[in-house]
Structure 1
Amino acid sequence: MPVITVNGPKMSKEQKAELVKSFTETASKIMNIPAQAFTILIEEMERENVGVGGVLLADREK
Structure 2
Amino acid sequence: MPVITIEAAKLTKEQKGKLVKELTTSAANIMNLPEQAFYVFVKENEKDNIGVAGQLLSDK
Alignment of 1:1-62 (within 5 A): 1-59=1-59, 61=60
Structure 1 residue 56 displacement after superposition: 1.2
Instruction: Give TM-score, length-normalised by structure 2.
Output: 0.92
For 1:58, give the aligned amino acid: S
More strand by share: 2
Gaps of 5+ in 2: none
RMSD between superposed Cα atoms in Å? 0.9
| 4+ residue runs over 2 A deviation | none
Structure 1 gaps, min length 5: none
- Kindly name which structure, 1 or 2, has the bigger radius of gyration based on alpha carbons: 1
